[in-house]
A and B are shown apart, each in its own frame.
Chain A
Amino acid sequence: MQADLADGPEGTIACLTLPARTEAIYAGLQTLLAQPPLAHLDNNLRGAAELALAEALNNIVEHGYAGQSGDIDIEIHQEKDGLFCQIHDAGRAFPGGKLPKGIFPDLKGELPEGGFGWALIHAVAEDICYERCHRRNRTAFRIRANQDEAIGQTI
């Protein structure tokens, strides 16, 4: 895993600005996955990064902008032992100005069809932070190279 990361130089940054629409998120993720630093990663780390980014971005489209138009700025930095991802948007703030706790829904009783998004981000990402500044949201997290270890700590 470390060797794969070494294929791309530490410090490589990918930046992308997307309109806040579900189809644009899909296309944007494909663009990001095809270029460094994501393109160089092994499948495990790449899958975790794609999952965390997809959940965070779709959450912004559905709840942050909630049908309003606007942009989302994404930055992905390659670090020595993983990725640092930073997202800026001008949608609504998180309720209470805090990140969702990210607790997986209970599967007893009627099966839930939603509520998994932020729980999945908490499960695959670390150092998750959120701040609201000048009517903009900044969400950031790290995806560590050793994913199995990260998941082991979560469960």
Chain B
Amino acid sequence: MEITSELRGGLLAVTVMDNRIDAAGAIRFKEDMRQIIETPSARVLLDLSNVTFLDSSGLGAVVAVRKLLGEARPLDLAGLTPTVQKVFRLTRMDTVFTIYPVLEDGLKNAS
């Protein structure tokens, strides 16, 4: 899975380049994220704007990454596409995560 990351101040901005996080890619996503978040940062912002499809396995993997980071290091999300947004809304995970419309909004909030 192709994932890019960039440290901006205390914020680690992570962008998923693939267009799906599903049952076939969820474990890989979690493992890749585990390595990426080894870079110390106060917060992590995950840009999902390229992801057009996320199923329950993908959602579980995002939740798992949030748990890996722990309470002290929040995982925020940005750029949810309509089908991904629907999964977050239906499962009410949109009430658990801070979600920004686009990556830039999340970056502004970092400063």
Chain A residues lying within 8 Å of B55, measured Cβ to Cβ, are 51, 54-55, 58, 117, 120
- Across the interface, do A26 and B93 meet the contact criterion of CB distance under 8 Å? no
Stretch at the interface among A63-71, A72-80, A107-115: A107-115
- Across the interface, do A22 and B87 meet the contact criterion of CB distance under 8 Å? no
Report B1-59 residues with CB < 8 Å from chain A CB.
Answer: 20, 22-25, 52-53, 55-57, 59
- Across the interface, do A151 and B83 meet the contact criterion of CB distance under 8 Å? no
Report B55-111 residues with CB < 8 Å from chain A CB.
Answer: 55-57, 59-61, 63-64, 66-67, 82-83, 86-87, 89-93, 95-96
From DSSP, what is the main secondary structure of chain A's interface residues? helix
Chain B residues lying within 8 Å of A44, measured Cβ to Cβ, are 82
| Contact flags A100-112 to B (C-beta < 8 A → 1, else 0) | 0000110100011
Does A153 sit at the interface, judged by CB under 8 A?
no
Chain A residues lying within 8 Å of B95, measured Cβ to Cβ, are 107
Report A122-155 residues with CB < 8 Å from chain B CB.
Answer: 123-124, 151, 154-155
Chain B residues lying within 8 Å of A154, measured Cβ to Cβ, are 90
Chain B residues lying within 8 Å of A62, measured Cβ to Cβ, are 23
- Across the interface, do A112 and B63 meet the contact criterion of CB distance under 8 Å? yes
CA gap between A17 and B49 in the complex, in Å: 32
- Name the one of A107, A112, A114, A120 contacting B90, with C-beta atoms under 8 angstroms: A120
Given the contacts A47-B82, A104-B90, A111-B67, A25 and B56 also touching, CB distance less than 8 Å: no
Given the contacts A26-B23, A47-B86, A50-B83, A55 and B63 also touching, CB distance less than 8 Å: no
- Across the interface, do B96 and A107 meet the contact criterion of CB distance under 8 Å? yes
- Name the one of B20, B24, B52, B60 contacting A116, with C-beta atoms under 8 angstroms: B60
Chain A residues lying within 8 Å of B59, measured Cβ to Cβ, are 116
CA gap between A155 and B22 in the complex, in Å: 24
Chain A residues lying within 8 Å of B89, measured Cβ to Cβ, are 151
- Name the one of B52, B82, B90, B96 contacting A123, with C-beta atoms under 8 angstroms: B90
Pairs A-B, 4 closest by C-beta atoms: A47-B83, A116-B56, A113-B60, A26-B24
Contacts A120-B55, A124-B86 aside, 10 further interface pairs with beta carbons under 8 A come to A23-B24, A25-B24, A47-B83, A51-B53, A51-B55, A54-B23, A55-B55, A111-B63, A111-B96, A113-B60
Task: List 7 interface pairs A-B (beta carbons < 8 Å), by A numbering.
Answer: A43-B82, A47-B82, A54-B55, A58-B55, A107-B95, A114-B60, A154-B90
